[in-house]
Amino acid sequence: MTVGQGDEVELAGGNVGAVVRVGDTVRRTAGPWTPTIHALLAWVRARGASMVPVPLGIDDGGREVLSFLPGEVAGWPVPAWVWEPETAQAAGTMLRTWHDATEGFALQDATWRVPPRDPVEVVCLNDIAPYNMVHDGNRLVGLIDIDMASPGPRVWDLAYLAYRICGWCEDMPAPTGSAPRAVRLDLLLDAYGRDAAPSTTAVMSTMRQRLHDLADWTDEHARTTGATRLLEHAAMYRRDATRL
């Protein structure tokens, strides 16, 4: 489906690609993976994962078109809602809903922006973090930026979400007085569901592996796109991995 153009408003973020809002839609740079991601979004929404955007096709400029999810997306300085216990719980619940809804999605002939990772259990979001979450002022209501999704193990997503929302990352340190990181991780895993969640030890060990993998990907993306500002992101991931 091709969607027409309109007045464009640039949206904040977009470290990996330009993002604009047109009316009630969001337009993003498309790629070879876009048809797979749009099919995936339609699949999970049909299975109850309504917190992700509706795929609306390609516009006249060749960009992907998604429904706009109203609310606040966390940036810097990090808003207070990120550190509320309810946010960790809601994020865990949403991630479980997403993972379960991806089961059964046809992986044959799919094209992914990020290579799949064994063991394949679900389709991972690969970049679930407060800067890709939508908050409506009272609660977490949505997840965006799904184009990095690819098949992998549940722990791969949980490790990165814990890194970002429990206070282990250098650029999003938990404020004084917030719940300890271990407590926040317990809330996250409890909300995800201990019947499917990996152990705390597995999450922590995967977190370090995840950061080294992300640093390598970010370095390569910076080199191929000329986005040299991302090199410092890669350096931060390696510093955090060393601390872990």
* Residue 99 C-beta-side C-alpha neighbours within 13 Å: 23
**241 pLDDT more than 80:** yes
What pLDDT shows up at residue 46? Answer: 98
* CATH 3.90.1200.10 domain extents, the chain: 72-243
Nearest CA to 107 among 98, 94, 117? Answer: 117
Tokens 């970010």, residue located: 218
Split at pLDDT 50, 70, 90, the class of 18 is: confident
What pLDDT shows up at residue 158? Answer: 98
What pLDDT shows up at residue 81? Answer: 96
What pLDDT shows up at residue 4? Answer: 52
What pLDDT shows up at residue 8? Answer: 87
Three-state SS at 238: helix
- 111: tokens are 């094209």
What pLDDT shows up at residue 10? Answer: 87
Split at pLDDT 50, 70, 90, the class of 36 is: very high
Topology classification of domain 2-67: Phosphorylase Kinase; domain 1 (3.30.200)
Split at pLDDT 50, 70, 90, the class of 41 is: very high
DSSP string of 162-216, one letter each residue: HHHHTT-STTSPPPTTSPPHHHHHHHHHHHH-TTTPPPHHHHHHHHHHHHHHHHH
- The residues pairing with 19 across neighbouring beta strands, listed in sequence order, are 28
Three-state SS at 229: coil
* CATH 3.30.200 domain extents, the chain: 2-67
Three-state SS at 240: helix
- The residues pairing with 25 across neighbouring beta strands, listed in sequence order, are 22, 67
In angstroms, the CA 61 to CA 80 distance is 38
Question: Which of these CATH numbers, 3.40.640.10, 3.90.1200.10, 3.50.50.60, 3.90.1300.10, describes 72-243?
Answer: 3.90.1200.10
* pTM confidence score: 0.92
**Distant-in-sequence, close-in-space partners of 216: CB < 8 Å, separation ≥ 6:** 234
Q: What is the enclosing helix (H) or strand (E) of 151? A: strand 150-152
**Cα–chain center distance at 193:** 19
In angstroms, the CA 241 to CA 187 distance is 22
**163 pLDDT more than 70:** yes
**Distant-in-sequence, close-in-space partners of 44: CB < 8 Å, separation ≥ 6:** 52, 98, 101, 102, 105
